Amino acid sequence: MNKVGIGIVGCGVISAAYIKASRNFPILDIRGVADMRTEMAEARAAEFGLTAMRVDQMLKRDDIEIVLNLTVPLAHTDVDLVALRAGKHVYSEKPLGVNLTEAKKVMDLANEKGLRVGCAPDTFLGGGHQTARALIDGGAIGKPVAGSAFFMCPGHERWHPAPGFYYLRGGGPMLDMGPYYITDLVQLLGPVASVMGSTSRTRSERMITSEPLKGTMMPVEVSTHVAGTLEFRSGAIVSIAMSFDVPKHRHTPIEIYGETGAILVPDPNRFGGEVSVARTGGEWEVKAHTHGYTDGEFRSIGLADMATGIRAGRPHRANGALAFHVLEVMEAFQKSSDEGRRVAIESTVERPAALAAGLSGGKLE
């Protein structure tokens, strides 16, 4: 196999998940890690038997084709632009940028240079979500007409060792967790046409309760409860709420309601999960997974699909156009709330191609 060389920039918490998961995909070869904090890069390199290097060294390496950008949201655009100028494809953690203006710089430069942009989340490629898509596309619930999507929790300061960035520009529940839910909804239902939203920020400061910063107060710059309605070009209407202000709730992550039935879609922050369908007047029935990549952490499958696309000369699924559309949708909630009106979504995107049923062992088609 003609492997694709990967260089990682950003050696925080999520980098370990990517490195471990990359071992499921033989096409990926991580050839270096870098971080603005040298000690972080060296520690991650030592942990996984990799090579630590500076970013400028990484960008000069001919054997590194894709830069995997795992920095904090405020740094996503800057790192992507530097990598693109050096002739590297980029795959970024979500969101693609802290706003559309920043994200457009990345997309424009990539198009100018003929390079690829990929962006998390890639969980929609997991077997739970591909199974749900196959059922919807196969007519299991009839034409989708409505749905709901909920992520609500008390906040990330309970568990993250350095949660401050979740509450600064580029953070908040919509930009942090919204990508999982909205990306999955787009792959299930198609592009979004318009958004209506309401937002709130309950506190200007929050106390960190996780170690090692327990007891420290951190500023809150962004809305911490975002709710509203997504109207899809297909006509489906989905209610959505993303919150860091809710102590407990009982909503399922995603439900899609069709003309003849309904489907429960698993947590879009996970790859597997139970899929259930109920026909009109019937009871919920758990459906067997039709697709692989369900049991485990595969948080490199989108990167592997991009690498496979480079070698095969085909489009990749977790692509920049999809991430840009999702970012515009997420940004529209605050705009709608601020201006008190429905916001039309200007961008559109094709649903990413479905994965073939039964793939496993690092195979992607």
Q: Which CATH superfamily is domain 4-119 in?
A: NAD(P)-binding Rossmann-like Domain (3.40.50.720)
CB 95, CB 179: distance < 8 Å? yes
Is 125-291+326-344 in CATH node 3.50.40.10?
no
The three-state secondary structure class of 200 is strand
pLDDT tens track for 261-290: 999 999 999 999 999 999 999 999 999 999
CB 173, CB 202: distance < 8 Å? no
pLDDT confidence of residue 26: 96
Task: Give the span between the Cα atoms of 329 and 345, in whole angstroms.
Answer: 7
Give start-end residues of each CATH 3.40.50.720 domain in the chain: 4-119
Place of tokens 């019937």: 282
Number of Cβ within 10 Å of residue 81's Cβ equals 16
User: With a threshold of 0.75, does the pTM exceed it?
Assistant: yes
Give start-end residues of each CATH 3.30.360.10 domain in the chain: 125-291+326-344
Nearest alpha carbon to residue 304 among 9, 16, 19: 19
Of the candidate ranges 115-119, 187-191, 294-298, 338-342, the one whose mean pLDDT is the lowest: 294-298
pLDDT tens track for 32-62: 999 999 999 999 999 999 999 999 999 999 9
pLDDT confidence of residue 166: 92
pLDDT tens track for 24-37: 999 999 999 999 99
